[in-house]
């Protein structure tokens, strides 16, 4: 009755009432979107619920335009409208190109999953060639100590504590990689990525049993023919996409050969890395409700190295040392990965209710094989006035041998669903996973110092280290989750609640786990520039193969690897409090983010880090905590170009056998900067800078623990810069002919490690006959230059 009276009143006044809700492509309300009447000065903004209401003079034709920064405009034409009128459009994300500058909306984050725009990084220097990880490692709370690797640590966690999903399917990384030289291409193809979300902790129950982070990737579904081609001194890539409406396909091929970069390492010789990757994403949509998709990946990473010599100078100006080695032998490694997944999705309605059935298979075939013989001299060097002082500290030989073969097959089937009920969105899922693991490993090291083998036993030749492993295992894992997201809008502001629980069971150790998790987000009505969030829960690290291997001895006294069937999942209780403040400075948008967190750790499996290799004890024997604070300021420091600065402080502690020590990932401070700029007088030239300064990690001698002794590596410091020139692009391309089909063509020059800083990745330990050990640093890559060409069409 009231609505009828209002409609009559408006009609008598010659007014048309228009109202509705503006949502994004995922049916999330868009706050502060603009609704305007074309040809007039009338307009309003949507509220925190995405709702709007406007009254306009009655006309035969009314054009209503809906717009929001970062989304394509939507226009609706009303012909002889009768009040009231309801218009609830859906806006899709877009990229506004101003000489290849992307303008995006700085969304308010009300949960622990943040959106990452990787487009800004596609023209920035990357020593590893991995676009997504290159951006991730500059986020607050994230660190990487090796520019050749795609692996990263998050808030005191290890490389193994990070979950990675592509199109909702968990993917894995090789297990035997021990340094950046061996590591090839990341499983994530940056040219195929459409959306990236990332959480540094406090993530929802839908994500698997990992303790540190979640990286959730969504691949593109092309709307028409598109592609990109890039080539550089490190390799190249080609991506092609095509769509007919109901059928779309995207294929990506990458090749990497970074032998020139490896040549800057101090170990000289013949480097022959060959890294190849092919990926495909195919979708078929017979109807608007039903879709079938296929995701496939073949990765062939081969690494060969024939060392010749190495000369390393280290120490201080008053205590300088020199380490010289002549090598004989060769290393040959292979990491072959095959992955495939088939998904079927059915949408019941437009309110978010759907069901997805997924079957996937993953296989990794890894071989690390080397026989390296070396003769070394360790000398003391220095000067005092004009008189040279020094002496021989050690001379000897060594031989390192490995034949490590690992095959892992992971098969999984899952069913996931969503139910949209007014303000609630209920998600649920169940998964069955079958793991088959085959390992045959043999390693030993022989050392000779001053003519004596170590350890020195008269009339015997002994090795200083040996290990053999022969294990076959077949296990099953079952997991399930349910969670609810509820949105509440009051006069005080907008609230978002998420609560869920995850259950998992592993038949290897007969362990059942229950993991409750929650998050609360709040945007106040009085000052919607603020967004606050609180998250927490009980998180487990379900052991994978490396974590439950124990070094033991057989009946003959030989060192062997056995499996610990009493292993338990490591546990972490997360509490995270954070917030954002959006503001404008210099008439440009900015956002300041701050988060404080605490993790209580128990059932820990002690480990040590050497470069990228994690050596676990295989026993739950320690506990500890991680606490810290992260800051990030994000915005347009230069108009039209997004940049950010992140700063982190952290403290960790682990108690091993009653001794309190920092975790191996105890990075007490970190500063990262990601900066892009356009030259005012030369808008076709883009400048990019990526810089990191982070504290050194605790380390110890081989086959020792931090409870015995440890020291810190030097701080990691690196600056990479790049210049890109727009050869062809928006406003700078012909209207017809061959080149009119290209979106852009860029030519770039990169300088990796611009300041030529010698960063330490690990240490080579030299032991003399007196059992005195010397830590000789293994340095990472030095300054290198790269030329690249990127074409988008």
CA 150 and chain centroid, separation:
8
Question: Lowest mean pLDDT: which of 96-110, 500-514, 703-717?
Answer: 96-110
Predicted confidence (pLDDT) at residue 96 exceeds the cutoff of 70: no
CA count, 13 A, side-chain hemisphere, 345: 19
Give the Cα separation of 667 and 773 in Å (integer).
25
Return d(Cα 138, Cα 427) in angstroms, integer: 31
| pLDDT tens-place string over residues 548-590 | 999 888 777 678 889 999 999 999 999 999 999 988 888 788 8
**So what's the pLDDT on residue 564?**
93
Q: pLDDT tens across 581-594, in order?
A: 988 888 788 899 99
Residue found under tokens 């013949």:
270
Longest pairwise C-alpha distance within the chain: 112
pLDDT digits (tens, 9 = 90+) for 737-782: 777 778 889 999 999 999 999 999 888 887 665 667 788 898 999 9
Could you tell me the two tokens for 383?
């000067």
Whether the Cβ atoms of residue 324 and residue 198 lie closer than 8 Å to each other = no
Burial 323-356 (b: 16+ CB within 10 A, else e): bebebebebebbbbbebbbebebebeeeebbbeb
Neighbours of 41 (CB within 10 A): 6
* Average pLDDT of span 397-422: 92
Neighbours of 137 (CB within 10 A): 26
User: Mean pLDDT over all residues of the chain?
Assistant: 86
Percent of the chain with pLDDT over 90: 50
pLDDT at 233 over 60: yes
Asked if the model's pLDDT at residue 85 lies above 50, the reply is yes
pLDDT of residue 390: 53
Weakest-pLDDT range from 364-378, 543-557, 598-612: 543-557
Model pLDDT, residue 383: 41
DSSP label of 84: S
Q: What angle do CA 508, 514, 517 make, to 5 degrees?
A: 135
Pairing of strands 559-563, 267-284: unpaired
- Contact residues for 746 (Cβ-Cβ < 8 A; gap 6+): 100, 123, 686, 724, 725, 726, 727, 729, 788, 789, 790, 791
Structure tokens, 26: 């995922």
- Per residue in 115-145, pLDDT (tens digit) is 888 777 778 888 888 888 889 999 999 999 8
What is the per-residue pLDDT across 56-68, written as a single tens digit (0 to 9) for each? 888 888 889 998 8
Tell me how far apart the alpha carbons of residues 269 and 411 are, in angstroms, rounded to a whole number.
40
Quick one: pLDDT at residue 450?
Answer: 58
Give the long-range contacts of residues 3-10, CB within 8 A, separation 24 or more: 3/84, 6/84, 7/83, 7/84, 10/55, 10/83, 10/84
Model confidence over 654-691: pLDDT tens digits?
999 899 999 999 999 999 999 988 877 788 888 999 99
Measured CA to CA, the distance from residue 462 to residue 273 in angstroms comes to 34
At 452, the pLDDT band (50, 70, 90 cuts) reads: low
pLDDT tens, residue by residue, 171-222: 988 888 887 788 888 899 989 998 899 999 999 999 988 999 999 999 998 8
> What is the 3-state composition of the chain as percent helix, strand, coil, each rounded to the nearest 5?
5, 60, 35
pLDDT of residue 153: 94
Give the DSSP letter string of 334-391.
EEEEEEEEEEEEEE--TTS-EEEEEEEEEEEEEEEEEEEEEEEEEEEE-EETTEE--E
The Cβ of residue 622 has, within 10 Å, a number of other Cβ atoms equal to 23
118 in Cβ contact with 131 (< 8 Å): yes
More confident residue, 381 or 260: 260
| 327-348 pLDDT, tens digit each | 999 999 999 999 999 999 999 8
Mean pLDDT of 158-163: 92
Give me the pLDDT at residue 8, please.
45
- Of 453, 503, 508, the C-alpha closest to 478 is 503
E strands, 507-541, are: 511-524, 530-541
Helix (H) or strand (E) holding 430: strand 424-449
**The pLDDT value given to residue 296:** 96
Beta-bridged to residue 416, according to DSSP, are: 356, 429
Q: What pLDDT, on the 0 to 100 scale, is given for residue 638?
A: 77
DSSP code per residue over 51-81: EEEEEEE--SEEEEEEE-TTB--EEEEEES-
Task: Return the minimum-mean-pLDDT range out of 457-461, 533-537, 555-559, 576-580.
Answer: 457-461
Q: What is the DSSP letter of 681?
A: T
pLDDT of residue 481: 97
The vertex-274 CA angle with 270 and 279, nearest 5°, equals: 165
């Amino acid at each position: 009755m009231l609505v009828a009276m209002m409609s009559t009143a408006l009609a008598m006044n010659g007014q048309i009432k228009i109202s509705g809700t503006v949502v994004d492509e995922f049916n999330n309300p868009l706050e502060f979107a603009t609704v305007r009447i074309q040809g007039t000065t009338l307009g309003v903004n949507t509220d925190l619920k995405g709702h709007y209401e406007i009254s306009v003079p009655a006309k035969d034709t009314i054009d209503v335009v809906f717009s929001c920064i970062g989304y394509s405009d939507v226009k609706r034409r009303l012909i002889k409208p009768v009040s009231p009128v309801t218009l609830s459009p859906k806006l899709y994300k877009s990229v506004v190109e101003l000489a290849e500058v992307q303008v995006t909306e700085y969304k308010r984050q009300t949960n622990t999953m943040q959106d990452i725009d990787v487009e800004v990084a596609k023209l920035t220097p990357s020593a590893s060639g991995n676009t997504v990880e290159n951006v991730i490692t500059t986020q607050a709370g994230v660190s990487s100590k090796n520019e050749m690797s795609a692996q990263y640590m998050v808030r005191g966690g290890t490389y193994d504590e990070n979950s990675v999903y592509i199109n909702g399917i968990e993917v894995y990384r090789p297990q035997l990689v021990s340094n950046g030289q061996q590591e090839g291409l990341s499983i994530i193809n940056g040219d195929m990525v459409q959306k990236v979300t990332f959480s540094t902790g406090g993530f929802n129950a839908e994500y698997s049993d990992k303790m540190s982070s979640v990286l959730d990737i969504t691949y593109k579904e092309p709307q028409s023919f598109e592609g990109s081609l890039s080539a550089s001194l490190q390799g190249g890539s080609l991506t092609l996409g095509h769509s007919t409406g109901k059928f779309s396909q995207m294929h990506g091929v990458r090749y990497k050969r970074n032998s020139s970069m490896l040549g800057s390492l101090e170990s000289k010789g013949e480097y022959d890395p060959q890294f190849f990757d092919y990926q495909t994403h195919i979708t078929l949509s017979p109807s608007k409700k039903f879709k079938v998709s296929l995701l496939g990946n073949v990765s062939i990473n081969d690494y060969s190295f024939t060392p010749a010599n190495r000369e390393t100078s280290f120490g201080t100006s008053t205590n300088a040392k020199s380490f010289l080695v002549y090598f004989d032998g060769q290393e040959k490694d292979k990491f072959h990965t095959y992955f495939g997944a088939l998904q079927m999705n059915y949408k019941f309605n437009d309110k978010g209710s759907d069901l997805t059935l997924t079957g996937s298979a993953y296989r990794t075939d890894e071989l690390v094989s080397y026989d390296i013989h070396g003769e070394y001299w360790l000398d003391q060097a220095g000067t005092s006035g004009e008189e040279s002082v020094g002496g021989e500290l050690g001379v000897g030989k060594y031989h390192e041998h490995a034949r490590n073969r690992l095959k892992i097959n992971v098969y999984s089937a899952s069913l996931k669903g969503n139910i949209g009920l007014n303000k609630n969105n209920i998600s649920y899922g169940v998964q069955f996973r079958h793991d088959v693991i085959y390992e045959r490993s043999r390693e030993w090291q022989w050392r000779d110092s001053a003519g004596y083998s170590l350890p020195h036993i008269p009339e015997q030749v002994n090795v200083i280290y040996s290990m053999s492993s022969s294990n076959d295992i077949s296990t099953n894992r079952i997991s399930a989750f349910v969670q609810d997201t509820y949105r509440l809008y009051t006069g005080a502001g907008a609230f978002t609640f998420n609560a869920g629980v995850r259950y998992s069971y592993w038949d290897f150790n007969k362990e059942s786990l229950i993991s409750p998790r929650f998050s609360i987000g709040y945007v106040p009505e009085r000052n919607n520039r603020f967004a606050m969030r609180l998250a927490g829960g009980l998180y487990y690290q379900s052991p994978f193969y490396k974590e439950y291997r124990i070094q033991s001895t057989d009946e003959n006294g030989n060192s062997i690897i056995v499996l610990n069937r009493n292993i338990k999942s490591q546990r972490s209780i997360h509490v995270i409090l954070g917030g954002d403040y959006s503001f404008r400075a210099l008439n440009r948008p900015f956002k300041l983010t701050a988060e404080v967190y605490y993790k209580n750790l128990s059932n820990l499996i002690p480990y040590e880090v050497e470069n990228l290799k994690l050596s676990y004890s295989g026993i739950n024997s320690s506990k500890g905590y991680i606490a810290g604070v992260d800051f990030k300021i994000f915005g347009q420091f230069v108009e039209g170009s997004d940049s950010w600065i992140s700063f982190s402080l952290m403290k960790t502690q682990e108690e091993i056998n009653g001794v309190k020590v920092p975790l191996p990932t105890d990075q007490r401070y970190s500063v990262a900067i990601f900066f892009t700029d356009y030259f005012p007088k030369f808008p076709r030239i883009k400048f990019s800078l990526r810089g990191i300064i982070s504290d050194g990690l605790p380390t110890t001698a081989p086959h020792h623990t931090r409870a015995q002794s440890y020291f810190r590596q030097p701080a990691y410091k690196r600056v990479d810069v790049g210049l890109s020139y727009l050869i062809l692009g928006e406003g700078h391309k012909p209207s017809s002919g061959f080149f009119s089909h290209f979106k852009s063509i860029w030519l770039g020059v990169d300088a990796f490690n611009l300041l030529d800083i010698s960063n330490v990745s690990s240490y080579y330990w030299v032991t003399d006959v007196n059992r005195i050990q010397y830590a000789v640093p293994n340095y990472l890559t030095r300054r290198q230059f790269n030329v690249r060409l990127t074409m988008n069409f």
